[in-house]
Amino acid sequence: MKSPMRALIAGVAVVATAGALAGCAADAGGDADGKTELRVATFPPGADAAAYEGFAAQEKQFEKEHPDIDIIGVEYEWEGPTFAVQLAGGSLPDVFTVPFTDSKTLLENGQLMDVTDAVDELGYTDKFNPVILEGVTGDDGKIYGFPRQAYAAALHYNRDLFEQAGLDPDAPPQTWAEIREAAKAITDATGKAGYAQMAINNTGGWQLTSQTVARGERTQTDNADGSATSTIDNPATRATLEFLHALKWEDNSFGSKVDLDWGTINQEFAAGNLGMYTSGSDIYTALVRDFGMDPSIYGMTVVPMEGEEPGTLGGGDIAVMSPTIDAETKAAGVTWIDWFYMQKLMDEDAAVLDAKTLDESGQAVGTPLLPVLSRELYEESLVWVEDYINVPLDQMAPFSERIWDQTPVGEPKSKTQEVYAILDSVVQSVLTDENADIDALLAQAQSDAQAKLDE
Amino acid sequence: MTMTLQGAESTETSARPTPSAPSAARRRSPRTWYRGGGLANFLFVLPMLFVFTFFSWSPIVQSVIMSLQKTNLIVAEWVGLDNYLTVLSDPELGRAVINTLYFAMLALLFGFPLPLFMAVLMSEVKRGKGLYSALAYLPVVIPPVVAVLLWKFFYSADPGGVFNTVLGWVGIPPQPWIQDAVQAMPSLVLEATWAGAGGSIIIYLAALLSVPPELYDAAEVDGAGIWKKVWHVTLPQLRGILFIMLILQVIATAQVFLEPFLFTGGGPAGATKTVLLYIYDKAFRNSLGGDYGEATAVSVLLAVVLAVLSWLYFRLTDRWSTS
Amino acid sequence: MTTMREKSPKSIDSLAERTIVSTSERKRTGIRFGMSLTHVFLTLTLVVAGLGPILWLAKSAVTPTQDTLQQPFALWPNGIDWENLSTAWNDIHIDQYFFNTIVIAVGAWFVQLLVATTAGYALSVLRPKYAGILNALVLATLFIPGIVLLVPLYLTIVNPPFLGEVNLLNNYLAVWLPMGANAFNILLVKRFFDGLPREVFEAAKTDGAGPFRLFWSIVLPMSKPILGVVSVFAIIAAWKDYLWPMLVLPDPAVQPLSVRLPAVQSQTELDVFLAALAIATLIPIAMFLVFQSVFLRSAGLGGAVKG
């Protein structure tokens, strides 16, 4: 058997050499003709063509100002199975964004580049909203990213359905009891679901957490020593579940779809089948662009607060850099982050240029955001870009006026997605089983979550 | 008959080196190997060797290795049987196994006799078998994703949903279907049966039509009526194919993924989470990296269980067929 | 044992000389009544179950959303909406995903045919010394559920050995190559080749045909039936594939229909979505109607295997 074996080995060697050579050829990154190549995240695959046009325009503007940097836009989506593998394999863009909740895990795994000096040099350290900056600071006190955008929790409602039900679209409900009444009125008058909530793909847990926070409690406490305690079994979560139970089984105003997630609930709302729901405050852009919503029906207000320490569950993302890039690329990356993400928050010219470019390519300008810097700066920036705002701000007034009275609260930091998945189950049980034992569900969920946190 | 082809081998044998002259033999072997068609042999097995090595054998080995490690893809540490112990004591896995068994049981109850029944009826009609076959096979032709998405719409819990409308015609109130923990699994099985029955029907039909007619003739000579013929001729003749279909169906339903994934995502409240869905969630659900070690551990366990099951099954049916 | 000789019966109805019910039994009134009842039952069930959903889909594909939601069984109370089809084709880019599906199917077909025929030929006709081991190794994979390979296979795609930093994500090879590692195909082809008459091979060899010539000009042309069967299986499998393409083709631009349709559902209006579903079913159904006999014969292949 010697010869065939030898031939086999020879063949494998040939393939391997060819592969290695091919590998060398493919590894052509780095600097070409003196420019520093910088791979930056742009949009998730499948984004609007107009979004890419807007980006292309901005890329040109940047390269004009910084001719020594060559920007290469790379499609990027922070979720999905590929992210983890690419992150581990280091094949993500040099500059990319991650949500707040994941930053702690990434920090612990050493998968983010330390940017403390860069932030200091640019003079931003004191400018950031301290609550938000804390999310990007490691246990070692170093900063690992630039918070670039944040959102709060909001109650979205259909002005049209409100009118049909005899409710005033400019005076949306301000307490949970009022929401319940309004939902019933809408269902009675139009037959559509008055209020619905997400329940699958971890969004159920997300919204349950959001409403727990709005009712004054927390689902998890992150302890100083790095461990975490699950506090799912609390009066606010209970009240939320009882609220859902009442709407679904007593008032019949929840509608027949109980398996909704972020995408499908947006779809229902945009199609005019849903009166009210809670979600992030920044979804207007997506509703119009991706879900075909008619802007005139849209209304947004704050989530009602009650209880001891209510807050609005905020989220957002951070611009970070891959930890394996060299010093030159890092410098280029900082310049890009500053120019693309930060400047428009602080500098009038940059803000105006950004708004103008976006408006020209038909992108939304002016969707209310939670400021990562200070409130004053944020409101000033709105004045700067006044002329380009193309979203119906007056329909969102109930939100923008009242959000400042609410305390932003961050999502739980440990095992966030796993705990959300556990809570998903609880929400689904309540919505599909009229006789679900809420107390038992909460107790079980808390012990399951604690087991996950202790892993 | 294969003498000519074995000629190559005999040349090689004669070229086998004697212990006292190794260098001479090594000089002779490549030529004889080539002349004996060795290169051609190698070139013909190359495609298979290539795809199987990289996309079948190697991943299988890697799977077993990974199941013994705790890895985040950068660093892997050996943890021995820890992963296995963890998943075996995970109540969610127990739940998933029960759900899978439930699905398999329902699928067997409804999906196994039905195609046989239809095939028997179809084999008896004098004309139209072709048309009936085509009609029966149509659902199999529809891509499964399309079928599931279509049925997901049919299963709308709205009173105006397609199936609820039909129920309304006969006075039954609207049902929640896949949004109810109790109705969800049967709903999935119903669609799976609809989508797969056609394939089984065709196979049974072919088997039924290959029953030697003399056997029926002989049975009639002995005075057998229709039922006796079915019992003493048809079923025993079909025994082989029935046994094979049964085990194939069990193995297939043990690995059901698409229906729970697209219909309910494993809900409501985990009522339709099967073992495959459990593995998928462990490996791919978390964007920050899944539990690859545990996921592969469960898949190895599944493979072992199915292998043991098949082996037991074939031992048992072997004994039955020979009796 | 299973020589695939072309049967070419005139029709499936004359396949068996007789079945359970004898000719004399059929003359009895009771049986005749039973037969008519059977016909009625079969027609009813098969048309409703087999044809029903497809016809409903075809109807709803050109019905506006509101009509489908409120009157699912009405026949176009407000007129036909042909635009659904054009919207699905152009705006949702079903044409692109359609094309992707075809490309994947063709590539998969080619790879599977290549691997199966060369392997079958080597194992069955050429029979080198190591054929036995290879055969066993290939058969062994038949008993291993695909899920076992999922994670490592995925990692292999993202980080292929010997290829440095290249990753095969969004590359159709990531779908084609793993499909080639199909033991069932090799088994089918090998058994078929086993049943080919060796005298023909000997005759060709005496005429001076080498192994390649033998393969190309003798064996392959004699194997049309099994090549047809493997092709049908390959194309169907490629068309249906969901989980694997979903994992290795994250870029929507290269995704096939099966992966894309669920993903765009929430962003698509119901009527357009149903039109998209209908378009996605067109080709498989058309292929089926045209190649019915091949489909049914290869599906019924198992029926020829007894005990």
Would you call C164 and A75 a contact, using CB atoms and an 8 Å cutoff? Answer: no
Q: Which residues contact A131 (CB under 8 A, 6 or more apart)?
A: A408, A410
What is the DSSP track for C142-193? Answer: HTS-THHHHHHHHHHHHS-TTSTT---TT-THHHHHHHH--HHHHHHHHHHH
Identity of the residue in C70, C114, C212 whose CB atom sits nearest the CB atom of B47: C114
Under 8 Å between Cβ of A433 and A210: no
In a domain, A1, yes or no: no
Sign of CA dihedral B107, B109, B114, B115: positive
d(CA C40, CA C33): 11
Give the mean pLDDT of chain B: 85
Q: pTM for the complete prediction?
A: 0.85
3-class secondary structure, A198: coil
In a domain, A248, yes or no: yes
The token pair at B11 is 């040349």
* Region B201-213 average pLDDT: 88
Would you call B143 and C69 a contact, using CB atoms and an 8 Å cutoff? Answer: no
A43 and A132 both lie in a single domain: yes
C31 and C105 both lie in a single domain: no
* Region C189-197 average pLDDT: 90
Under 8 Å between Cβ of B298 and B279: yes
**Range with the lowest mean pLDDT among A86-95, A107-116, B81-90, B213-222?**
A86-95
Under 8 Å between Cβ of A243 and A173: no
Residue of B nearest to C285 (CA): B141
Cis omega before residue B268 (within 30°)?
yes
C101 and C73 both lie in a single domain: no
Cβ neighbours of A106 in B, within 8 Å = 288
Note the pLDDT of residue A45: 65
> Terminal CA-to-CA distance of chain A, rounded, Å?
52
d(CA A77, CA A79): 6
C248 and C131 both lie in a single domain: yes
A174 and A273 both lie in a single domain: yes
What length does chain C have? 307
Cβ neighbours of C158 in A, within 8 Å = 82, 85-86, 89, 91
Note the pLDDT of residue A304: 96
Residue of B nearest to A259 (CA): B179
In a domain, C28, yes or no: yes
A208 and A259 both lie in a single domain: yes
In a domain, A247, yes or no: yes
Chain centroid to Cα A180, Å, comes to: 27
Helices (H), A109-175: 116-122, 130-134, 159-164
Residue A384 belongs to domain with CATH number: 3.40.190.10
Please state whether C33 falls in left (phi above 0), alpha (psi between -120 and 50) or beta: alpha
What is the DSSP track for C185-243? Answer: HHHHHHHHHHTS-HHHHHHHHHTT--HHHIIIIIIHHHTHHHHHHHHHHHHHHHHH--H
Identity of the residue in C56, C288, C304 whose CB atom sits nearest the CB atom of B141: C288
d(CA B152, CA C215): 48
Under 8 Å between Cβ of B265 and A200: yes
Q: Say if residue B18's pLDDT is above 60.
A: no
Note the pLDDT of residue B308: 92
The token pair at A201 is 């793909």
Would you call A425 and B270 a contact, using CB atoms and an 8 Å cutoff? Answer: yes
CA distances from C66 to A188, B46, B224, C77 (A): 20, 57, 59, 11
Q: Say if residue B323's pLDDT is above 60.
A: no
Q: Which residues pair with A143 in a beta bridge?
A: A137
What is the least distance, in Å, from the CA of C154 to any CA of chain A? 9
Task: From C225, C54, C305, select the one nearest B240 (Cα to Cα).
Answer: C305
Q: Say if residue B8's pLDDT is above 60.
A: no
Residue of B nearest to A448 (CA): B91
> Terminal CA-to-CA distance of chain B, rounded, Å?
36
Query: Strands A153-158, A274-280: parallel, antiparallel or unpaired by DSSP?
Result: antiparallel
Task: From A99, A58, A62, A91, select the one nearest A75 (Cα to Cα).
Answer: A91
C191 and C143 both lie in a single domain: yes
In a domain, A379, yes or no: yes
In a domain, C25, yes or no: yes
**Range with the lowest mean pLDDT among A89-98, B149-158, C64-73, C177-186?**
A89-98
* Region B78-97 average pLDDT: 92
d(CA A177, CA A433): 23
Task: From B314, B228, B307, select the one nearest B60 (Cα to Cα).
Answer: B307
Burial of A284 (0-12, 13-18, 19+ CB in 10 A): buried
Cβ neighbours of C154 in A, within 8 Å = 81, 85
CA distances from A106 to A86, A102, A321, A414, B226 (A): 13, 6, 11, 12, 72
Residue A26 contacts C, CB cutoff 8 Å = yes
A303 and A176 both lie in a single domain: yes
Q: Say if residue C233's pLDDT is above 90.
A: no
A362 and A431 both lie in a single domain: no
Would you call B198 and C50 a contact, using CB atoms and an 8 Å cutoff? Answer: yes
Note the pLDDT of residue A90: 66
C114 and C235 both lie in a single domain: yes
Under 8 Å between Cβ of A310 and A82: no
Q: Which residues contact A315 (CB under 8 A, 6 or more apart)?
A: A99, A100, A101, A150, A151, A280, A410, A411
In a domain, C295, yes or no: no
d(CA A411, CA A409): 7
Q: What is the ipTM of this complex?
A: 0.86
In a domain, C218, yes or no: yes
Q: How many Cα atoms occupy the beta-carbon half-sphere of A193 within 13 Å?
A: 25
Task: From A155, A126, A150, A248, select the one nearest A199 (Cα to Cα).
Answer: A248
A139 and A261 both lie in a single domain: no
Would you call A264 and C266 a contact, using CB atoms and an 8 Å cutoff? Answer: yes
Would you call C165 and A80 a contact, using CB atoms and an 8 Å cutoff? Answer: no
Q: Which residues contact A199 (CB under 8 A, 6 or more apart)?
A: A258, A259, A260, A261, A424, A427, A428, A431, B267
In SS3 terms, C45-96 reads as HHHHHHHHHHHHHHHHHCCCHHHHHHCCCCCCCCCCCCHHHHHHHHCCCHHH
Domain that holds residue C195: 92-267
Sign of CA dihedral A134, A139, A141, A147: negative
Note the pLDDT of residue B10: 39
Helices (H), A193-294: 203-214, 235-245, 262-270, 284-289
Note the pLDDT of residue C45: 92
Q: Say if residue C297's pLDDT is above 80.
A: no
Beta strand spans in A310-394 (E) = 312-321
* Last-in-domain residue among C87, C108, C142: C87
Side chain identity, residue A206: W
The DSSP code for A340 is I
CA angle A53, A56, A61 (to 5 degrees): 130
d(CA A97, CA A266): 23
A252 and A322 both lie in a single domain: no
C180 and C116 both lie in a single domain: yes
Residue B195 contacts C, CB cutoff 8 Å = no
3-class secondary structure, A228: strand
Note the pLDDT of residue C131: 87
- pLDDT per position as a tens digit, B266-299: 889 999 999 999 999 988 887 777 788 999 999 9
Task: From A180, A244, A197, A184, select the one nearest A433 (Cα to Cα).
Answer: A244
C147 and C224 both lie in a single domain: yes
Q: Where are the domains of chain B?
A: 3-81, 85-322
Q: Say if residue C171's pLDDT is above 80.
A: yes
C163 and C98 both lie in a single domain: yes
C26 and C105 both lie in a single domain: no
Number of domain units in chain A: 2
Beta strand spans in A397-454 (E) = 408-410
C203 and C79 both lie in a single domain: no
Under 8 Å between Cβ of B188 and B178: yes
Residue B139 contacts A, CB cutoff 8 Å = no
d(CA C94, CA C272): 11
Cβ neighbours of B193 in C, within 8 Å = none
Would you call A84 and B287 a contact, using CB atoms and an 8 Å cutoff? Answer: yes
d(CA B275, CA B93): 7
What residue ranges of chain A have pLDDT lower than 70? 1-33, 45-48, 79-81, 88-90, 135
Cβ neighbours of A83 in C, within 8 Å = none
Would you call B137 and C247 a contact, using CB atoms and an 8 Å cutoff? Answer: no
A68 and A121 both lie in a single domain: yes
Domain that holds residue A302: 153-312+403-454
Residue of A nearest to B280 (CA): A81
In a domain, A437, yes or no: yes
3-class secondary structure, B278: helix
* Last-in-domain residue among C37, C64, C87: C87
Task: From A379, A343, A394, A428, select the one nearest A61 (Cα to Cα).
Answer: A343
A273 and A189 both lie in a single domain: yes
The token pair at A353 is 């240029």
Residue A48 contacts C, CB cutoff 8 Å = no
Note the pLDDT of residue B27: 53
Would you call C250 and A77 a contact, using CB atoms and an 8 Å cutoff? Answer: yes
A198 and A78 both lie in a single domain: no
Number of domain units in chain C: 2
In a domain, A396, yes or no: no
* Last-in-domain residue among A340, A358, A388: A388
A372 and A228 both lie in a single domain: no
Under 8 Å between Cβ of A208 and A423: yes
Would you call C129 and A292 a contact, using CB atoms and an 8 Å cutoff? Answer: no
Q: Which residues pair with A319 in a beta bridge?
A: A97, A146
Would you call B268 and A432 a contact, using CB atoms and an 8 Å cutoff? Answer: yes
Note the pLDDT of residue B313: 87
Q: Say if residue C271's pLDDT is above 80.
A: yes
Q: Which residues contact B322 (CB under 8 A, 6 or more apart)?
A: none
Question: Which CATH number applies to B85-322?
Answer: 1.10.3720.10
What is the least distance, in Å, from the CA of A371 to any CA of chain C? 29
C121 and C236 both lie in a single domain: yes
C44 and C120 both lie in a single domain: no
Note the pLDDT of residue A5: 42
What radius of gyration, in Å, describes the C-alpha atoms of chain C?
Answer: 25
